[in-house]
Amino acid sequence: MPRSPVPRAGRHGSSRLSRFRKLAEREVHRGSLITVAVGTFADPSGEEFTRDLVHHPGAASIVPVIDEGTAALMVRQYRAAVDRDLLEIPAGKLDVAGESPEICARRELEEEVGMRAGRVEKLAEFFNSPGFCDEHSYVFMGLDLAPVARSAHSVEERHMSIERVALDEVPSLITTGAIVDAKSIIGLCLVREILT
């Protein structure tokens, strides 16, 4: 029997409509950033089940490339959910009405690092933890950087530091656990693949 071709992935990685159906959703918590809900679903046979769901506005991040494409700027900031300082690429929530992911990434670059990108290229988009959360993230590469005034907003941003990371050191920084943030790993690995 001939095999059918593999379906192409569509918007947000979906190759087709699911045979599962969402029947209902009940909000159980609304916070300043996320909403938590309990969803009721039916599988292809009609059996019903529930899942905890977290709704998130999405995020955009950017890899600021410096030193003729040999290094990137990162920020070290406190992350309350894991109670640690993490080394990350600049990023922020898609929480400004009408703001595109690219504009959000450009804004975060200026706020967190004090740089403006002359050119921005989209690298990827992905779901962070689709097993329970709908957060959809975008990662960009920022090139031709020029300094601007930094304008930190959150308490974490006011206490973050900026660090230079050589792109040839990225694999060892990941494997040794110096960089554990997923968006940063994705962005840095893609930039390294493109530029080195």
Active-site residue numbers? 156
**Location of structure tokens 């601007």:** 148
DSSP sequence for 83-105: TEEEEE--EEES-STT--HHHHH
Distance between CA 88 and CA 157 in Å, rounded? 12
Distance between CA 185 and CA 196 in Å, rounded? 16
114: left (phi over 0), alpha (psi -120 to 50) or beta: left
Query: CB-based contacts of 84: which residues, under 8 Å, 6+ apart?
Result: 78
Distance between CA 61 and CA 90 in Å, rounded? 6
For residue 51, the surrounding DSSP H or E stretch is: strand 48-55
